[in-house]
A and B are shown apart, each in its own frame.
Chain A
Amino acid sequence: MEKLTIKTVLATLLVLALGFTGQVQAQFQSDFQIKQNFDRDHAEVLEALKTIQTGEEVDEVIEMLNEMQRRYRDNESLLNRVLYPETLQARMTNLRELTQATGDRISRIGEKGDTIVVLEERIAELSTDATRYQQRADSLNQELAAMRRSRDANAAQARRLRQELDKRDAFIIKMVDSIFVAYENVDLQSLSPAERRGLALEIDAQNVMGYIESVVDNNISFLNTHTELSTQDFLKLYSVQVEFNRMWENMGYDLTQIYVAETRRSERIGSIVEKVDEWEMLIDDAAWTTLSDAFAQNNIELAPFSNSLEFYTSLNTYLDEAIARAEESGSDEEVARYQRFADFWFGTVKPNWQEYLVDANLMTFENFNTIDEKLTEWKLHAQPTSYTMLILLGLAIVLILILLALWLQARGKK
């Protein structure tokens, strides 16, 4: 009992001694060090808030804040002075509010469930692909620049390069489509601006608008430097432009809502719209010029055209006139004219261009059917009138007249 008492006394003394030492050490703490420790703890909480993703992690941050509050309670006066014009309390309140907002966001995302998760995964996947395509496009653009300087650059090289860029353009359009299909499921209107920004951060904001703008820039640059391409190439580029326009008109505004800060939004939209207009003007001009030249080179003189309606009207007028002419008098010359048109139409236009003309909304399948029907009609009337047929017709008439005479004679005898 006595030993126990001595032990207890010794233990008590040890605790008191340790406590006293601790107090002495605490008493001699450097204010500067306290401030540094506070800054470090503050930064740690902010860093944690950037990365937390679960409710449990939010609770851990709240516990960190409680610990901070306890740790710096005795130094409040000092910290108030050195944090001026802020105060310790203001800093802590700010951290708690940030934690609360982060917790709310995590909770809301949790409620929205798999849609967000699927969207984020899809965006991450697309971002990787987009980066890969962007790298490829960069190297292609370097090649393009080198070709501009080279005398040996030819249409075949340009076409090969263009095909590579087409793959990337198609991907960008698909990517934007895909992102928006996913966003539509999320119901953007229900998200707060902060949540939208949060989602937008999943994919590099600059990259989305950057990718879109680079599609336009690359095409403008390509059209300005390559006029030697075939009609088919230009029609293909036209269909890319139309597809892009469709995407931009459907989603351009929504995209900028998410990826561009409000202060810069109208300026950014204006810049892209201006470029898209330039692209449209360039491809429009190139496509109709080359199409007109292609018909002329095949000795088919269509009335001038500079848009899809004029082109279709011009075709119809040409065929209507040809049919009218053939109806009046078919001839070998007319047959030759027909044959020239038909060879070009069935040998080049339909197999090589129809797909792109339809894709670019320049013509419809019905338009093609109408032209086909008119060609059939032209063919029918173009044939010259046959002399054999005339002789046979004459003989038939003579035979009928003979039979008629015989019949009348027989009737007279009765």
Chain B
Amino acid sequence: MVSMKHLRILGNISAAMLLVFAIACGPSLTLTDVDYAQPMESVASPDQNGNVQDVRLGIRFNVTDLNIKERGEGSSLPEEVRFIRSRDGYYFVTAPGFRNVYVFEVEERALDLKTVIRVSGAGLANPAFNQRSPYIQLVDGDVEYRLTKDGLAN
């Protein structure tokens, strides 16, 4: 015989299952095939605190830690920082004198380093990013690099 107590427990379990089911079937929508490609790189000079920004695109971040990672503690900030967002939404950042291009993934109020791409042993002289979807082209004088979020493409 099923007692009243057992019926109450069964009822509670059913209610909990219904709730889980309702949450699982809640408002869920994913927009796909988004193109984040920034048509032209941003070139910005860091302020005294190391912040760079592109007012037109509405992005600002601090490059102090990036500079320490690239050049070591106590090194001066670069005169300009160049960055561009790829079609996939990753930010590619470098500066004159840097040996690497840093690829960042966008997080909530943060840029997470995803990849460090070594491009020059001696440091880039006059780097510039171009949007060449699906790649990001990095040019430095007459040298060209094709970059993806994972590293050099060629």
A interface list, Cβ under 8 A from B: 24-25, 27-33, 35, 78, 81-82, 84
Contacts and interface: CB of A to CB of B under 8 A. Distances in A.
B39 A30 contact: no
A32 B139 contact: no
Interface string B39-52: 11101000000000
A78 B137 CA distance: 14
A31 B144 CA distance: 13
Nearest to A80: B39
Nearest to B144: A28
B142 A25 contact: yes
Given A31-B40, A78-B39, 17 more contacts: A25-B142, A28-B139, A28-B143, A28-B144, A29-B139, A30-B128, A30-B130, A30-B139, A31-B128, A31-B131, A32-B43, A32-B129, A35-B40, A78-B40, A81-B39, A81-B40, A82-B40
Given A30-B130, A31-B131, A33-B128, A82 B139 contact: no
Contacts of A82: 39-40
Contacts of B144: 27-28
Contacts, number: 34
Interface in B66-110: 82
A32 B41 contact: yes
The 6 closest A-B pairs by CB, nearest first: A30-B128, A81-B39, A28-B139, A82-B40, A31-B130, A31-B40
B130 to A, nearest CB: 5
Of B40, B128, B129, B142, the most chain A CB neighbours within 10 A belong to B40
Nearest to A28: B139
A28 B40 contact: no
A1 B130 CA distance: 49
Nearest to B132: A31
A31 B41 contact: yes
Contacts of B141: 28
B44 to A, nearest CB: 11
Contacts of B131: 31
A169 to B, nearest CB: 52
Interface in B113-134: 128-131
B23 to A, nearest CB: 42
Of B39, B141, B142, the most chain A CB neighbours within 10 A belong to B39
B142 to A, nearest CB: 6
Contacts of A31: 39-41, 128, 130-131
A33 B129 CA distance: 10
A24 B142 contact: yes
20 contacts: A24-B142, A25-B142, A28-B142, A28-B143, A29-B139, A30-B128, A30-B130, A30-B139, A31-B39, A31-B41, A31-B128, A31-B130, A31-B131, A32-B82, A32-B129, A78-B39, A81-B39, A82-B39, A82-B40, A84-B39
